[in-house]
Amino acid sequence: MNKPLMPVSSYQLKLPVAGGSIETYRLAASRTFPAKLEGTLNRVAFSAAHVVADPLADGDPWLTAAIDWDRTIAFREHVWDLGLGVAEAMDTAQRGMGLDWPTSLELIQRSVGAAKARGGALVFSGAGTDHLAVEDAKTIDDVIRAYEKQIAAIEKAGGRIILMASRALAKIGRGADDYARVYDRVLSQVAEPVIIHWLGDMFDPALANYWGIDSLDRAMDIAVGIINANAARVDGVKVSLLDKQREIDMRRRLDKSVKMYTGDDFDYAELIAGDDKGFSHALLGIFDAIAPAASYALSRLAAGDAGGFHDVLGPTVPLSRHIFKAPTRFYKTGIVFMAYLNGHQDHFTMVGGQESTRSTLHLAELFRLADKAGLLSNPEMATRRMKAVLALRGIEA
């Protein structure tokens, strides 16, 4: 069980506030969660896991992805210990924003190997078309061949597939028929049922008008039609539109054999809890940052303790909404910053130099919200590391 709240912390530091002033912030009472799953889960829950950059590599971060493989796989072991699955090589890992396909494939191979060494830990991996430059995609067949290449490579490694949205298809697809042709062809060849990922343009502007139309209502009609027509080859659907009601509406329209995996980092607690008509499973980037709390909350839900579930997961939602605030595509910075604060890596360095995409004010508010939710596993270390980042940005302790 999670331990009771401890006496108010004695840790404090100076944090910037809007308007250019500085406040003395005192940390709240600490809260700890089990390092391993206690009990069982009645939801399938994936953490879309980040990669740990190698800060000592002699390379150009904007051009090459230098990965600390040991720390990267160790983080996945942490996720698996908590009873969560790993969604590998997704946008959380900076896929398409610093992580290229060859490095993604190596990541997938290493992660699948580590999962097998544990006796079959849960891991699904992203297959897309990102090795195909968007400007080089001329025909729908080009998109199909690109998907086939990545799927074949992942399945050769023994991996399961998350079928990612394609920037190339978003560019050249001209409506329902083009999308149906791609998905029908690709799904007809997969070795095992896949998870289909509908990633909204708030996460990736290049995916605007996905499913070939600018109306989200019509796009959902097209997506549901394609998915239900291929239900035997689809394990589930991850929807990342940050629109609670659209997810609920789609969930109710899917074939009963197809799971809904929430990708809504704004309303996940409510969606996972569900209602009398159903619930969502989870495939979330925020579960990278809050994995211990998420694991414990889900175990309380499975035990019939809905109050305990909301008591733990509810306070994490303001943090998630902050991390994923617009421009949402920069959320990865907050995910990695949480990993740094909690000791999963010894630096705040990211592939592609993405640590620079959020302001000092943003990181300060992230620290406050993480503290209030009881998500700083070692307040002394988190305070010390926050001070180090602030010092680099001109705020001395």
CA distances (Å), origin 27, targets 6, 34, 193, 294: 12, 21, 46, 22
Q: Is 196 helix (H, G, I), strand (E, B) or coil?
A: strand
> Cα separation of 182 and 92, whole Å?
25
Measured distance CA(388)–CA(397) in Å, rounded? 9
Q: Point out which residues pair with 196 in neighbouring strands.
A: 163, 237
- pLDDT value at residue 9: 64
Task: Look at residue 397 in the predicted model and tell me its pLDDT.
Answer: 67
pLDDT at res. 63: 87
Residues 6+ apart with CB under 8 A from 312: 2, 33, 293, 296, 297, 300
pLDDT for the residue numbered 4: 42
Non-local CB neighbours of 202 within 8 Å, separated by 6+ positions: 241, 242, 326, 327, 328, 329
Mean pLDDT of successive 10-residue stretches along the chain, which has 397 residues: 52 94 92 95 98 94 92 98 98 94 98 97 98 97 98 98 98 96 98 98 96 96 98 98 97 98 98 97 98 98 98 98 97 98 97 95 98 96 97 88
Stated pTM of the model: 0.95
Instruction: Give domain limits for the chain.
Output: 41-325
Cα angle 314-317-323, degrees, rounded to a multiple of 5: 160
**82 closest CA partner among 383, 390, 389, 288:** 288
One of 3.10.20.30, 1.10.540.10, 3.20.20.70, 3.50.50.60 is the CATH number of 41-325, namely 3.20.20.70
Describe the crossing of helices 306-313 and 291-302 by its angle, rounded to 10 degrees: 170
Give the contacts of 146 (CB within 8 A, at least 6 positions apart): 128, 129, 131, 132, 137, 166, 168
